[in-house]
Amino acid sequence: MRHLVGACLLIAVAGGASAADNVRWRETATIAAKEAGWGRLARLPDGDWLAVTTHFHANAPTTLTLSLSDDNARSWSQISSLAEPGRKLDNGELLSLPDGQVLLAMRSLIDGESYRLNLYRSRDRGRSWNFLSTVDRNEAPRGRRDRGLWEPMLSLLPDGALSVLYADETLADGRPSYNQVVSQRISTDGGASWEPKASIVAQPGGGSARPGMPVMARLGDGRYLLVFEICGKDPHCPVSSKLSPDGRRWPAGLGKWLSHQRCGPHVLATQEGRIFATSCQNEITWSDDGEHWRRNDPPAWPFGFRHSWPALYQTAPGEVAAVNVVGSGAVQVRFGSFDVTEDASNPKSGFTNPLLPSGPDPWVVRHGDTYFYMNTLGKRLAIRKTTDLTRLADAQETTIWTPPTTGPNAQSIWAPELHRIDGKWYVYYTAAESGHDDDAHRGIFVLENANDDPTQGKWIDRGRLQTRYPGIDGTTFAHGGKRYFVYSPYIGPDSVLAIVATSDPWTLIGEETVIARPDNAWERQGGRQILEGPQFLAGPKGDLFLSYSGSACWSDDYAVGMLSAPAGSDPLHASSWTKASRPILAKDAQRNVFAPGHNAFFDTPGGRETWIIYHANSGPDMKCTAKRSPRIQRVYWTDDGRPRLARPASANVFLTAPAR
């Protein structure tokens, strides 16, 4: 009787939500139109979505189909499939890794003979797959169909370890006997090998209860919420939940009942802090703490109870997507909007580009946990200071310097860069002489500030760098115990890239060396032959990389190229540098990204991730104006230590934020 009273009380607390709180369901997209089931998604680093569905065949075992969407899950194209001869494949689960690889786990079986959970890896966004490992297996079920392994669910833990949860029937013949448990295995080498499994949900003392179909999500406070069904006495399999501090340590027992949900649950923790759950009951419930739940009215799919295996994903800020099997073998996704007041103590885990409506020639540098941002303002220099770059628009802008009314640096203040050198701050910027706003009268100038906070203290004018030629876009970097300066000088009709050594941040020594000229066709668009905006990037294997922007900034074909120098080479020698023939970041008309360029690189606290910031236009023929807006995306590294960029994401596509 005490148990029934508690259950009724929970139902009363978890009543319906107000209309303002409810998800408002809108359009529907089709992932697979027929002969399909069990749809699961993963967002790739560039904002594209990958889907896996089970495909049913009339006279052959089931296989898996992979589909791709480049318009935020609104339309889908099949790109690959996966089969294992003589074996059924289903319960596909995707995980997009920080390095750009994708993992695919699935159930692989021959009924009554062999049960496996296999893991595959793709290095080309799901177009091809290679076997990686078997997570668990039962090769001696003795003809029984209730000794299998089911529903693998992949997660990446904060320390980089890989977790897989799954329903496990292999302990049914033990003493004590567990009809089914939820098992977890951990891999510290990307899924190549696995630690011994742990039973994280099991009936105390063993018995007929069948906890399974586990899914977990990391909450905004760092805890993990696990949802799972418990089949046995109730054929509709009530859903329960558990909370873990780290995704590894779980309380014993069968958890806490989750109202309004039955069979095959799924859970989503959004960037706004709201948590959504669904199941084969085809209800949507939501919570702000993972413990107290409210039912959304109406549901995404008004089916009532059906074995349709739904799943939930966040496709944009304030937008949730519900994937489901509908009709006779179609897998669809329905989108809905929700409103929530964001808690400042629970910051966003995602963002959308652009970061600001205006920000040409953006620059970011990190000092400790703080990011400092600058961009071209034309008539002044200003810094924004923030610990969360995705909230750059909320950061106060502090003007640190205005030009004199006359002199060599009086106008056209462009391309500022903030550098921390030997315990002081330095700003490098381009300026033109008063009365002569032309290429022949442009140069690079330096300011110095000894304050630990560059938005405070006094800036000292260290004057113009004595470059051999007039030029723009100066930058500096240290390598091998020496410091270098690179800029874009005007030499004849060309803007080129030149390098020179320095003795201090404002003094050049030795001869300048031209290391690159605009000799590729893509660097000669817009009526000019231009290389500009050089930026240094250190490779993980000791190689040097120098990005630059090619073509006229008013051309839609303005793009980012790359020079490289092998480890141990002398950057002052032109022969050390090799130029890639194609840009590493270029316009993408399909995504409304035009003239991307003038980039900088930065890393996250602890050097965990490398990112690029660049400006771009959101439409064609927008020229070289203040409408160029700053965007960021992650830089990945290939196995041989070279930087790799994904396609630029469309504006307002939800992306994973930099690590904190």
- The residue count for the chain: 660
Residue keyed to tokens 């709180």: 21
What average pLDDT does this structure show over 503-517? 98
Dump pLDDT digits (tens) for 622-657. 999 999 999 999 998 888 899 988 889 888 788 888
The yes-or-no verdict on residue 293 having pLDDT over 60 is yes
The span from the CA of 169 to the CA of 374, in Å, is 58
Dump pLDDT digits (tens) for 243-291. 999 999 999 999 999 999 999 999 999 988 899 999 999 999 999 888 8
- Strand 285-287 and strand 181-187: pairing? unpaired
Q: Which helix (H) or strand (E) holds 384?
A: strand 381-386
Dump pLDDT digits (tens) for 519-531. 999 999 999 999 9
- 3-state SS, residue 392: helix
Quickly state the pLDDT bin for 343 (edges 50, 70, 90): very low
The span from the CA of 525 to the CA of 548, in Å, is 15
What average pLDDT does this structure show over 462-474? 98
Report how far apart, in Å, the C-alpha atoms of 377 and of each of 403, 488, 617, 627 are: 12, 20, 17, 12
The yes-or-no verdict on residue 342 having pLDDT over 50 is no
- Specify whether 532 is catalytic: yes
Quickly state the pLDDT bin for 446 (edges 50, 70, 90): very high
**Confidence (pLDDT) at 2:** 28
Amino acid 539 reads G
Mean pLDDT across the chain, nearest whole number? 93
What average pLDDT does this structure show over 175-198? 97
Structure tokens at 649: 């994401």
The yes-or-no verdict on residue 331 having pLDDT over 90 is yes
* Phi/psi of residue 132, nearest 5 degrees: -115, -50
Report how far apart, in Å, the C-alpha atoms of 260 and of each of 225, 292, 325 are: 17, 12, 20
Q: Which residue has the higher pLDDT, 650 or 464?
A: 464
The span from the CA of 413 to the CA of 432, in Å, is 7
- 3-state SS, residue 310: coil
Nearest to 543 by CA among 562, 559, 520: 562
Nearest to 613 by CA among 427, 428, 351: 351
- Strand 319-326 and strand 330-337: pairing? antiparallel
Q: Which of 361, 494, 523, 543 is labelled catalytic?
A: 361
Nearest to 153 by CA among 237, 91, 100: 91
- Specify whether 84 is catalytic: no
Dump pLDDT digits (tens) for 585-609. 999 998 999 999 999 999 999 998 9
Residues 6+ apart with CB under 8 A from 63: 54, 55, 57, 81, 82, 83, 89
Amino acid 23 reads V
**Confidence (pLDDT) at 141:** 94
| Least confident range of 46-55, 104-113, 335-344 | 335-344
**Confidence (pLDDT) at 349:** 61
Quickly state the pLDDT bin for 341 (edges 50, 70, 90): low
The domains located in the chain, with CATH, are 2-337 (2.120.10.10), 355-650 (2.115.10.20)
Contact 92, 154 (CB under 8 A): no
- Strand 529-538 and strand 494-495: pairing? parallel
The span from the CA of 25 to the CA of 14, in Å, is 21
Residues 6+ apart with CB under 8 A from 365: 371, 372, 417, 418, 419, 420, 600, 602
Strand positions, DSSP E, 517-609: 529-538, 544-550, 559-565, 578-579, 594-603
Dump pLDDT digits (tens) for 45-80. 888 999 999 999 999 999 999 999 988 999 999 999
Rounded-to-5 percentages of helix, strand, coil across the chain:
5, 50, 45
Q: Which of 532, 556, 557, 603 is labelled catalytic?
A: 532
